[in-house]
Amino acid sequence: MKRKCFQARPNWQQEHEKIGFDYYNLPSLDGSIYWSEGVAYEFTLKQIEQLEDASNELHQMCMQVAGEIIQKGDYPDYFQIPQAAIPLIEHSWHNHAPMLYGRFDFAYDGRQIKMLEYNADTPTGLLEASVAQWHWIEQVENIPHRDQFNSIHEDLINRWKTIFPRGSHIHFAACQEAGREDWGNLEYLMDTAFQAGHRVSELSMENIGWDGQNFVDLNDQSIDQLFKLYPWEWVWEENFSQYLKPSTQWVEPCWKMLLSNKAILVELWKKFPNHPYLLESHAFDTNVSLQGKWVKKPILAREGANIRVVEDNIDQGAASGSFYFDDYDKYGYIAQKWVNTPLYDGKLPTLGLWMVGHTCAGMSIREDEFDIIGNDAHFAAHYFLE
């Protein structure tokens, strides 16, 4: 794995604007912007195959662990699953409610793969992973015999065809106050569903109504299929959660609550101890001694929030690049063994491996000078040499 620099494409900003990627220039802490135009990571085909195989294997491991939890009906306390959610988790699992997509985050040094977490419910960064970096690989010059691990766009369209019958009406919703990145991702997913032959409508979560029998949109149309870029744990804290019923088809399905919770890392380590792709993980307990270097992670959080470093049982403070958000503190924490990320030109890359359905469909890279990849970390394209 190598970090390479390239000449910027002419009119690259306009190329992003054309596909709706209008948040490419969001500011970063280092004074530059979100999209790194002149940077890409080079891989070999063998490395790509290794990353693809690892993603598929880890997904199946996660599915196995989730299935065993549901089969036993024993939800460990450190998952903090609301009691009201359990019937819908179990119904959606037993009825094989289909998933759309998810993203693994990996630490990778060109040889060793370590799973950091699974963003299985509301991952963003999809438009840039799918379309923007594909345009880059098509347009950039002076890379002979190159390709990109990226069939995300085509796979999403095909997945929508599998999930719903052609012509289905799917509503797409996100939080009204969410940033442009969330809405850009939502609109991109709407487009893939439209290309799959479905009818699509957009609204905010706040504008979903209840008519006494069904969830409805602002035109009083029944919402029977809903894609929500809104975490399940927030859904169960809303008043409308009392009206949730199995007849509404949610994407992602409610069983994804188990995979998107970092407590799944604890269960994976119990089930597959010392697996080469896993980092040792435990429910965080102040009474348990942690020798060596660890990270303390909230089980439910986003954008690298509330992550602290613990070394030889002593709290070393917030990990660089992390920030504190009150709301994420209430769910609890896990301890995960520290892993070093390789340093390239002052940047630390984290790999995102995208699952569409149950198959790995592509990769994206975020890099920063900080240990934790936060909201303003840079997006870098990738390619591999055949």
Q: Which residues contact 274 (CB under 8 A, 6 or more apart)?
A: none
Q: Is 186 found in the same domain as 317? A: no
**Domain total for the chain?**
2
354 within a domain of the structure (yes/no)? yes
State the residue range of the domain holding 309: 279-335
47 within a domain of the structure (yes/no)? yes
Q: Is 239 found in the same domain as 205? A: yes
∠ at Cα 333 (327, 338), nearest 5°?
125
Q: Is 314 found in the same domain as 218? A: no
274 within a domain of the structure (yes/no)? no
DSSP 296-354: EEESS-STTTT-EEEETTEEEEEPTT----GGGGGS-EEEEE--PPPPBTTBEEEEEEE
Q: Determine the Cα–Cα distance for residues 277 and 268; give it in Å rounded to an integer.
A: 10
Note whether 147 and 170 are within 8 A (CB): no
Q: First-to-last CA distance in the chain?
A: 14
The per-residue pLDDT string of the chain (386 residues; one tens digit each, 9 = 90 and over) reads 999 999 999 999 999 999 999 999 999 888 899 999 999 999 999 999 999 999 999 999 999 999 999 999 999 999 999 999 999 999 999 999 999 999 999 999 999 999 999 999 999 999 999 999 999 999 998 898 889 999 999 999 999 999 999 999 999 999 999 989 999 999 999 999 999 999 999 999 999 999 999 999 999 999 999 999 999 999 999 999 999 999 999 999 999 999 999 999 999 999 999 999 999 999 999 888 899 999 999 999 888 888 999 999 999 999 988 888 888 888 999 999 999 999 999 999 999 999 999 999 999 999 999 888 877 799 999 999 98
Q: Is 313 found in the same domain as 365? A: no
Global pTM reads 0.96
Q: Determine the Cα–Cα distance for residues 143 and 355; give it in Å rounded to an integer.
A: 27
pLDDT of residue 30: 83
- Which two tokens mark 327? 């709301």
pLDDT of residue 31: 86
